[in-house]
C-alpha cells in the first residue's frame, strides 16, 4: 500500500454514479464514483453539517439533501450555496479493488 494511504472501501461498494460513506481515521468522508473515477470529500456539509453521503450526485457535483448546497467532488469547492466554505478533499488511489485515501 502506498505510504500515507488507508484502505477505506472496495470498488464494488461504490457503483458508478453513487456516493458511499467511509471513515478515514476519525473523519467521515464521502467517496463518489464518476465515470469509474473515484473522488473523496468531507461528508458533513460546511453549511450546517448535512450528510453529503445521502445527497445527490450529478456529474461531478454533489448536492446536500438538507439545504441544497452543492460541491465539486474533485476539489471540494462550493458551486452553489448556501454553503460558503469548501469541503476538505482527499487524495484517492485505487489499488486493485481497494479504494485508498490520504489527506492532502
Three-state secondary structure of 41-87: EECECCCCCCEHHHCEEECCEEECCCCCCEEECCCCCEEECCCCCCC
Per DSSP, the three-state class of 77 is coil
CA distance 83 to 4: 30
Tens of pLDDT, residues 82-102: 999 999 999 999 999 999 999
Please name the CATH architecture into which domain 6-103 falls.
3-layer Sandwich (2.102)
User: In the numeric block, which cell numbers belong to residue 97?
Assistant: 479493488
Given a contact cutoff of 8 angstroms between Cβ atoms, the answer to whether 63 and 29 are in contact is: no
Residue-level pLDDT at 45: 97
Q: Is the pLDDT of residue 1 over 80?
A: no
Tell me the domain boundaries of the chain: 6-103
Number of other residues whose CB lies within 10 A of the CB of residue 81: 11
Tens of pLDDT, residues 40-74: 999 999 999 999 999 999 999 999 999 999 999 99
CA distance 103 to 83: 22
Given a contact cutoff of 8 angstroms between Cβ atoms, the answer to whether 26 and 32 are in contact is: no
Amino acid at each position: 500500500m502506498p505510504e500515507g494511504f488507508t484502505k477505506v472501501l472496495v470498488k464494488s461498494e461504490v457503483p458508478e454514479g453513487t456516493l458511499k460513506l467511509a471513515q478515514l481515521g476519525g473523519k467521515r468522508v464521502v467517496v463518489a464514483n464518476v465515470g469509474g473515477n473515484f473522488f473523496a470529500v468531507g461528508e458533513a456539509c460546511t453549511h450546517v453539517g448535512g450528510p453529503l453521503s445521502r445527497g445527490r450526485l450529478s456529474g461531478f457535483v454533489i448536492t446536500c439533501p438538507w439545504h441544497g448546497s452543492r460541491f465539486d467532488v474533485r476539489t471540494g469547492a462550493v458551486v452553489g450555496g448556501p454553503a460558503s466554505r469548501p469541503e476538505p478533499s482527499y487524495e484517492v488511489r485505487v489499488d486493485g479493488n481497494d479504494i485508498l485515501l490520504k489527506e492532502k
